[in-house]
Amino acid sequence: MRFGLSEEQTLLKDNVNRFLEDNVPLDKVREYADGGSDSTIWQGLSDLGIPALLTPEEFGGVGLKPLDAAIVAESLGQHIAPGPFLGSAVMAPFALSNSPEGFGELLSKIATGEHRVGIAFGEAIARRNQASVHVKDGKVDGTSLFAFDAEADSYLVADQNKNMFLVSADDDGISRSNLTTVDRTRRTVELTYSSASAKPVSTDSNLFDRTLDLGRVMLAADTLGAAQSMLDQAVEYAKQREQFNRPIASFQAVKHMCAEMAASLEPCRAMVWFAAHALSDVPEEARLTACHTKAHLAEVGQFVSRTATEVHGGMGFTDLLGLHYWFKRIGANRQWLGAPEFVRSEAAILQGVD
Amino acid sequence: MDLSFGPEYDDFRSDVVNFLDKNSDKAPKGGDMRGEQAKDWQKLLIENGYTCRTIPKEYGGFGAEPDIIRSRIIGEEFSKSRINPGLGGQGISMLVPTLLEMGTEEQKQKFIRPTIHGDMIWCQGYSEPGAGSDLASLTTAAVLDGDEWVVNGQKIWTSTAHLADWIFCLVRSEPEAPKHKGISFLLFEMTTPGIEIRPLVDMTGVANFNETFFTDVRVPKNQIVGERGQGWQVANAILGHERDTLAPPNTAQTRINALVELMKTETAGGERLIDNPIYKDRLMKLQGRVLAMKYNDMRVLSSRLNPGQDASLSRMITKLQGTELRHELEGLAIDIMGEVGLSYDDNPHLRGAGSWQREYMYYLGLIIGGGTSQIQKNIISERGLGMPREPKIEKKAV
Ligand SMILES: Cc1cc2nc3c(=O)[nH]c(=O)nc-3n(C[C@H](O)[C@H](O)[C@H](O)COP(=O)(O)OP(=O)(O)OC[C@H]3O[C@@H](n4cnc5c(N)ncnc54)[C@H](O)[C@@H]3O)c2cc1C
């Protein structure tokens, strides 16, 4: 029995962390937040083989498992890195390689990072503003809200019945407009379709659910990394900052805030690992754990992000320090692909409680 | 990631399950430590290696090699089937491991067998009116007079002192030494002249703990564990172990399942409680936390099996998180039952034999006992996160 990361997984984590430390410092994130591009970051991650991680070997991928992807997601969250990882490296390769339609050629382009796939699932999870997606005879009409990755080459779109389609971003029938959110480390868009071509991916709601579970666990992992970074920053700051002739880290009120953050965050690491592992290896527990992990990390993330900000005093509230980028990223992860109350009600339904 | 224990453990698990199937009728239901049924059950469990498993045969145990996984499987199956896992109590859970680690051969021979068979019941005399969280400031004095220690002072919160045959007790034997170095660990009989016990009723309505007074209590010199002045190390050798066992995730899992069942059967205004969206959400929230602690525990287990894996922080947070979680879990059951949730003792509307209220209070006791939640947070921030200690305030001269 061994519950934890393998040597290869630790190596993967170290590699990704090293790349992000060198290439995605806070200044780089700010650049993106102010309207810059994430293409050099994605290029670098592609050189490391990140978009190929989950793609099966037969399509030029590495054929690794969700746990490996979760490790990367955690690092990306830790460094609040921009980029299309969630859609293009995780959810799309999974859905497309399990599709009966055969997307071999596209998958190999995704695996090299040259083709980016975004995700437009909102209308299949919890529709807002009466947005909806309708596909008939290979043509799609309607609207997807808060699709992620504003620079994607194509989008994996789900309708209200969990049917999935692929729509090209440069189809004449699609228009895309930026939706500004508080989280400036990733961009979301509104997609409007009028008779755009829609290539069928799957009519199997089970495949949609599994793709969604995978996405949720990745968001949880992203939150884990971001929250851990906030806690580390808070502890570090508390050791440096002095008031009343003492480091504030020696005040018990501050210590207890940090201890509470650590106590609630540490079990989250094991939870994310298990949830990711379950997706591939413990199918009977996978769905329930994915829901719980998504919701639990949303709650712990919220607690840690506000408390870590508080430990920083006024400095935590400034733009100067940039702590707010983590705060907002965690906030966005909470809402994307199902907010906690919503996901928990799914968890209840899965247990025959509805 | 490899979650399997291996095929030989599957066989072992089915042995345990078979044993439980065949023998469950012999298991005692209540917690009477003195009852014959409890002792017979304990004997049967030891003979089969389902409790006191690694205690050597010569001291009355089963004598197996330590195997964390087997112990784990036993714990899981007993918890799942809700069958009595054998005798507990501070003698078995705290003193016996202490003796195995620090006791003399003579002490092991004399104390372990009767203790694990339920013939010798112990209480723990650590806390004093002036020494709770700051345990090392204890003042109960032991002075050597010829071949005997003479003990004077007072202990408090001594659980089961009124039932105990013996006490393991921390005393100050070297008043001149720094506070952590002046303590000794003594063992003595509760029938020794000079001991007075006054029961303290706790919030559950039962006198589970006591005030214990010592007036010139004479204790043979050799009834000391470790050397003079080493008592603090002796006591600490297993304190961490005690914290691990206070709120096991297994039982949290069993309790949340029981809570789900309760919510499916209980109704308010004719509506099943589980169908109330607010209650349902609170239930799911807790289930998420129970799962997080379950996986956290798997990580701790794994770190014990795989040298080099670090889970020290995961382990450090278990007492704090586990006890708080159980208190909330039991509290949710009370909330959702409204007035029915208040039922106690002989109330005909009692649910779960009163366990929800009892455990709700019991876990508040555990939040306080064994190092309070605040003390846990001190430990986590100082040892886990490397934050500085509070500045020390010197004791005022009297
Ligand atoms: C059910 C139960 C059974 C027990 N059984 C036994 C037993 O069998 N034998 C035995 O010896 N003892 C036993 N105890 C005693 C237990 O170990 C003590 O109650 C515990 O260590 C706390 O000490 P105290 O009660 O003196 O509280 P105090 O130490 O006075 O604490 C009071 C409050 O102050 C806080 N506080 C104290 N110091 C600090 C600090 N440094 N930083 C922040 N906050 C602080 C505490 O967290 C708490 O909230 C038992 C207690 C309970 C509740």
Judgement on whether residues B266 and B149 belong to the same structural domain of the protein: no
Which of A238, A250, A267 has its CB closest to that of B321?
A267
Q: Rounded to the nearest whole angstrom, what is the distance from the C-alpha of residue B374 to the centroid of ligand 1?
A: 10
For residue B50, being part of any structural domain is answered with yes
**Does one domain contain both B72 and B163?**
no
User: What CA–CA distance (Å, rounded) separates B330 from B332?
Assistant: 5
Whether B390 is covered by a domain: the verdict is no
Concerning whether B65 is annotated as a catalytic residue, the answer is no
Nearest-10 Cα torsion for B328, B332, B338, B344? -60
Compute the nearest-CA separation of A192 from chain B (Å).
35
Tell which one of B155, B157, B232, B379 to mutate to probe ligand 1, the residue whose CB is within 8 A of the most ligand atoms: B157
Nearest residue to A305 (alpha-carbon basis) of A199, A198, A231: A231
Q: How far is the CA of B84 from the centre of ligand 1 (A)?
A: 29
> What is the C-alpha separation between A96 and A109, in angstroms, rounded?
12
| Within a domain: B116 | no
Q: How many domains does chain B have?
A: 3
Average pLDDT, consecutive stretches of 10 residues, N- to C-terminus, chain B (398 residues): 91 96 90 82 97 96 93 91 91 94 96 97 97 96 98 97 97 96 98 98 94 98 96 87 76 93 94 94 97 96 92 95 97 96 94 94 95 96 96 72
Residues of chain A with CATH 2.40.110.10: 117-203
Q: With beta carbons less than 8 A apart as the criterion, state whether B160 and B88 touch.
A: no
Tell which of B198, B229, B260 closes a domain: B229
Same domain, B285 and B373: yes
Architecture of domain A7-111: Orthogonal Bundle (1.10)
Q: Residue type at A338? A: G
What is the band of A353 on the pLDDT scale with cuts at 50, 70, 90?
A: confident
Domain(s) labelled CATH 1.10.540.10 in chain A stretch across: 7-111
- Atom of ligand 1 at shortest distance to CA of B127? 11
Q: Within a 13 Å sphere around the CA of A118, how many CA atoms are in the beta-carbon half?
A: 25
Write the CATH number for B158: 2.40.110.10
Nearest CB to A2; choose among B302, B377, B382: B302
CATH 1.20.140.10 residue spans of chain A:
206-350
Copy the structure tokens of residue A235.
Answer: 């502890």
Same domain assignment for residues B167 and B72: no
Average pLDDT over residues A202-231: 98
Residue of B133, B170, B324 to test ligand 1 pocket, by largest number of atoms within 8 Å of CB: B133
Looking at residue B139, its pLDDT comes to 98
How large is the ipTM? Answer: 0.95
What's the gap in Å between B316 CA and the centre of ligand 1?
A: 18
Cβ density class B189-205: b for 16+ within 10 Å, e for less: ebebeebebeebeeebe
Q: Rounded to whole angstroms, what are the CA distances from A231 to A10, A27, A246, A303, B13?
A: 21, 20, 20, 11, 41
Q: How many CB atoms sit inside 10 A of residue B150's CB?
A: 17
**Does any domain span residue B101?**
no
CATH architecture designation of domain A206-350? Up-down Bundle (1.20)
Percentage of chain A surpassing pLDDT 90?
97
CA distance A231 to A263: 11
> Least CB-CB distance to A270: which of B284, B289, B298?
B298
Q: Do A273 and B1 touch (CB under 8 A)?
A: yes
Please report the pLDDT score of residue B20 as a whole number.
96
CB A262 within 8 A of CB B313: yes
Q: What is the DSSP string of B66-109?
A: P-HHHHHHHHHHHHHHT------SHIIIIIHHHHHHH--HHHHH
pLDDT at B240: 65
pLDDT at residue B397, rounded to an integer = 62
Instruction: Tell me: do B362 and B261 sit in the same domain.
Output: yes
pLDDT value at residue B248:
84
Distance CA(A259)–CA(A238), nearest Å, equals: 13
Site of tokens 């290896």: A281
| Whether the predicted pLDDT of A68 surpasses 70 | yes
A84-95 pLDDT, tens digit each: 999 999 999 999
Domain final residue, candidates B229, B264, B297: B229
B75-128 pLDDT per residue, tens: 999 988 989 999 988 999 999 999 999 999 999 999 999 999 999 999 999 999
Tell me which chain A residues have a C-beta less than 8 angstroms from the C-beta of B380.
259, 262-263
Give the residue on B whose Cα is nearest the Cα of A9: B1
- Please give the CATH number for the structural domain made up of A117-203: 2.40.110.10
Residue B369 DSSP label = T
pLDDT higher than 80, residue A97: yes
Q: Average pLDDT, stretch A147-170?
A: 97
B327 in the same domain as B206 = no
* H helical segments located in B266-311: 277-305
Average pLDDT of span A308-321: 97
Q: Quick one: which of A270, A276, A264, A292 has its CA closest to B300?
A: A270
Distance in angstroms (rounded) separating the CA atoms of residues B293 and A266: 9
* Shared domain check, B186 and B268: no
Show the CA angle centred on residue A91, arms to residues A89 and A93, nearest 5°. 60
The residue among B217, B215, B235 whose CA lies nearest residue B226 is B235
Of the candidates B133, B156, B166, the one whose C-alpha atom is nearest the C-alpha of residue B209 is B156
d(CA A212, CA A126): 13
Both B294 and B349 in one domain: the answer is: yes
Query: Do B224 and B309 fall into the same domain?
Result: no
pLDDT confidence of residue B348: 95
Of A341, A119, A277, A259, nearest in space to B319 by CA: A259
B151 within a domain of the structure (yes/no): yes
Task: Report the residue among A251, A252, A255, A256 best suited for mutation to probe ligand 1: largest number of ligand atoms under 8 A from its CB.
Answer: A252
Q: Which atom of ligand 1 is nearest to the CA of B368?
A: 53
Return the half-sphere exposure (C-beta side, CA atoms, 13 A cut-off) of residue B148.
9
* Global confidence as pTM: 0.95
Q: Average per-residue pLDDT in chain B?
A: 94
From CA B341, how far away is CA B268, in angstroms rounded?
Answer: 12
**Average pLDDT of the residues in A206-216:** 98
| Whether the Cβ atoms of residue B322 and residue B293 lie closer than 8 Å to each other | yes
| Residue range of the domain that includes B180 | 121-229
Contact B302 A296 (CB under 8 A): no
Do residues B20 and B76 share a domain? yes
CB atoms within 10 A of CB A127: 14
Angle (nearest 5°) at CA A61 between A58 and A65: 105
Residue of A nearest to B286 (CA): A296
**pLDDT number for residue B35:** 86
Asked whether the CA dihedral A268, A274, A278, A279 is positive or negative, the reply is positive
Q: Considering only CB atoms, which chain B residues are within 8 Å of A250?
A: 387-391
Q: If 0-12 CB within 10 Å is exposed, 13-18 middle and 19+ buried, where does residue B346 land?
A: exposed
Residue B261 domain flag: yes
CA of B239 to the centre of ligand 1 (A): 14
**B23 and B83 share one domain:** yes
Q: What does the mean pLDDT of chain A come to?
A: 97
